[in-house]
Amino acid sequence: MEIADLLKWYLVFLYSTTLHEAAHSWTAWKLGDDTAYRGGQVSLDPIPHIRREPLGMVVVPLVSFFAAGWMIGWASAPYNPAWAMANPRRAGLMALAGPLANFGLVILSGIAIRAGIQMHYFQVPAYFSFMSMTQSVGGAGAAFAARTLSICFSLNLILGTFNLLPIPPLDGASVLLLFVSGSAAKSLFSLIRHPTLRLVGIYLAWQLFGHISRPIQLFAAHTLYPDLIF
């Protein structure tokens, strides 16, 4: 385990999580709820997000890296529950914005990887893993870029997909508000915010994701390298 790997992981985790929460916050602000804007979360500066969730943004990612070699953590953006209750479809769009931001980073990372291959800085890896979606042809700079882009591609794919699972308290549960209205929306919103269900939901989502994460990564690898046979 190298300090360089810790740096790559943390930079990607920090800014991926920051972008995710900034997307939630910006969308809410534009749709009528300025709670996160007033809290400083409509920003790509990680500091306001770290101040809000120091445990999830600093402590847990570092502990998980040293314990398992990869990072997990969380962040959050405040919003007005009364606004969400009164505007369920807007709340659903706010929830959707975070995962879409992660998928945007997946696309940008994939474009950069393909460009690096075309310019002969990168090549198709001998095997695919979280940290090896591409590998460098040679040179320290290319090696750093290949590892960082691999992490960015994989981590944001995981973050975006995991958060879209329709299980409270993940974003996917709130995205369902896009498809209901009236009393059904109010009932769903109350269910999403129920503290016991949120705890159970995290456990269920984690167990479920263990079964689908590898197929998702193989699908992404096939998309990145359509000429290869898996």
Active site residues: 21
Alpha helices, H only, 31-139: 35-38, 46-52, 54, 60-68, 81-86, 88-118
The answer to whether the bond into 169 is cis (omega within 30° of 0) is yes
The closest of 229, 211, 107, 207 to 157, measured between CA atoms, is 107
Query: For 180, left (φ over 0), alpha (ψ -120 to 50), or beta?
Result: beta
Residue 163 CB-density burial (10 A; 0-12 exposed, 13-18 middle, 19+ buried):
buried
Task: Give backbone dihedrals phi and psi of 34, rounded to 5 degrees, phi first.
Answer: -95, 15
Question: For residues 82 and 73, what is the distance between their CA atoms, to the nearest angstrom?
Answer: 28
Q: Which two three-digit tokens encode residue 154?
A: 């994989």
Question: For residues 5 and 189, what is the distance between their CA atoms, to the nearest angstrom?
Answer: 40
